[in-house]
């Protein structure tokens, strides 16, 4: 479930929906208003799930979609090649998620992990340190 926000409230490092894909904002530039129009924002972003570079240009005052990100903690039940089976530590729901490149080889069964649920899709973020 994405939310509409005014483009002027966005900042680098935050998230935006471009072409139906959640993306992390890399840069925002604003052009001066022209003779016959309003100022425009150019937003460069990278896809959260596919690492593709995307950009959009919108007029100031426009609304853009921002994904809703729910953060959760889970435990690795099994590792199957490039996927891991995770059990949520609150709801005990199990699901499979791709292991990102930065965690390949570091993830082990029994590890506690942080994951994000973005628009119904799950993303493994990092391994939690034991307390």
pLDDT, tens digit (0-9, with 9 covering 90-100), for 65-95 = 999 999 999 999 999 989 999 999 999 999 9
More confident residue, 39 or 46: 46
CB-based contact 104:82 (threshold 8 Å): yes
CB-based contact 115:72 (threshold 8 Å): yes
Q: How far is CA 15 from CA 10, 28, 125, in A?
A: 8, 12, 15
Looking at the predicted structure, is the pLDDT value of residue 35 above 80?
no
The CATH architecture that domain 69-127 belongs to is Beta Barrel (2.40)
Least confident segment among 15-19, 58-62, 126-130: 126-130
Domain boundaries, the chain: 3-66, 69-127
pLDDT of residue 64: 95
Mean pLDDT of the chain: 91
How far is the C-alpha of 87 from the C-alpha of 93, rounded, in Å? 6
Looking at the predicted structure, is the pLDDT value of residue 17 above 80?
yes
Region 1-26: mean pLDDT is: 93
* Residue 130 pLDDT level (bands cut at 50, 70, 90): low
pLDDT of residue 34: 75
Q: For domain 3-66, which CATH number applies: 3.40.50.1010, 2.30.30.30, 2.60.120.10, 3.40.50.2000?
A: 2.30.30.30
How far is the C-alpha of 14 from the C-alpha of 117, rounded, in Å? 15
């Amino acid at each position: 479930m994405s939310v509409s926000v005014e483009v002027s409230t966005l900042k680098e490092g935050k998230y935006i929906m471009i072409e139906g894909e959640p993306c992390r904002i890399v840069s925002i530039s604003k052009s001066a208003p022209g003779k016959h129009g309003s100022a425009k924002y150019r937003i460069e972003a990278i896809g959260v799930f596919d690492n593709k570079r995307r950009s959009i240009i919108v007029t100031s005052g426009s609304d853009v979609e921002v994904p809703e990100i729910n953060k959760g903690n889970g435990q690795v039940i099994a590792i199957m090649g490039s996927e891991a089976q995770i059990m949520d530590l609150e709801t005990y729901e199990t699901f499979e998620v791709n292991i990102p490149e930065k965690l390949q080889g570091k993830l082990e069964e029994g590890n506690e992990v942080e994951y994000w649920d973005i628009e119904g899709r799950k993303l493994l973020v990092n391994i939690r340190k034991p307390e």
